[in-house]
């Protein structure tokens, strides 16, 4: 070992010992006294009220009648294209290909590794209201989903996206009455 390394080691060791001794001396010299009562009164602790139940999601059916699939395609290109594809026979990406999702079962692609929560719903079909709830808050609609998307707050945007998703099928599902 060089002399410079010994000097650096000695400096660190000396500093550590100095801080330890200063702490011990400070503890012997200063004798803090506990207050008889707190200096600041915070009042009585009240249990927080349970959070209010989320408002029911308005039905998407009436909005689908005037939905614009072209706007839905634009929204999907901005919001969904990073993780999904939606062309017929297209590849899966981070998320599954969305072709044929409307009216199809949850976890509709056999070649995609869905979350256990999504796989558990395989026997249920993606109807318009299920898509509406999922697009609003994916994690709330299907607890345990791997989809990290926060959701679409505006009902008309959700209706437009669903209208576009509806066109992505050989035989589009009929609109609700």
pLDDT in tens, 63-113: 999 999 999 999 999 999 999 999 999 999 999 999 999 999 999 999 999
The arithmetic mean of pLDDT across residues 126-143, rounded, is 94
- pLDDT at residue number 84: 94
pTM of the full structure: 0.69
Q: What is the mean pLDDT of the chain?
A: 89
- pLDDT at residue number 83: 93
Higher per-residue confidence, 46 vs 174: 174
Tell me how crowded residue 115 is: count the other CB atoms within 10 A of its CB. Answer: 14
Residues 8, 6: Cα–Cα separation, whole Å: 5
The answer to whether residue 125 scores a pLDDT higher than 90 is yes
pLDDT in tens, 3-59: 888 999 999 999 999 999 998 898 888 877 788 887 777 766 666 565 555 567 888
How many residues are given for the chain? 177
Q: What are the domain boundaries of the chain?
A: 61-167
Q: What are the b/e assignments for 37-68, b being 16+ CB within 10 Å?
A: eeeeeeeeeeeeeeeeeeeeeeebeebbeebe
pLDDT in tens, 91-100: 999 999 999 9
CATH architecture of the domain with range 61-167: Orthogonal Bundle (1.10)
C-alpha triplet 73, 79, 80: angle, nearest 5°: 75
């Amino acid at each position: 070992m060089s002399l410079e390394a010994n000097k650096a080691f000695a400096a660190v060791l000396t500093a550590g010992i100095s801080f330890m001794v200063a702490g011990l001396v400070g503890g012997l010299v200063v004798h803090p006294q506990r207050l008889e009562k707190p200096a600041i009164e915070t009042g009585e602790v009240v249990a927080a009220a349970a959070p209010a139940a989320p408002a029911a999601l308005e039905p998407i059916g009436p909005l689908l009648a005037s939905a614009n699939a072209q706007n839905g395609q634009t929204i999907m290109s901005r919001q969904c294209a990073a993780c999904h594809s939606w062309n017929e026979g297209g590849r899966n990406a981070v998320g599954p290909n969305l072709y044929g999702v409307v009216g199809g079962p949850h976890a509709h692609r056999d070649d995609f590794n869905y979350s256990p929560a999504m796989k558990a719903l395989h026997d249920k079909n993606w109807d318009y209201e299920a898509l509406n709830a999922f697009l609003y808050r994916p994690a709330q609609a299907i607890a345990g989903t791997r989809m990290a998307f926060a959701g679409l707050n505006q009902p008309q945007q959700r209706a437009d996206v669903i209208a576009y998703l509806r066109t992505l099928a050989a035989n589009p599902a009929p609109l609700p009455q």
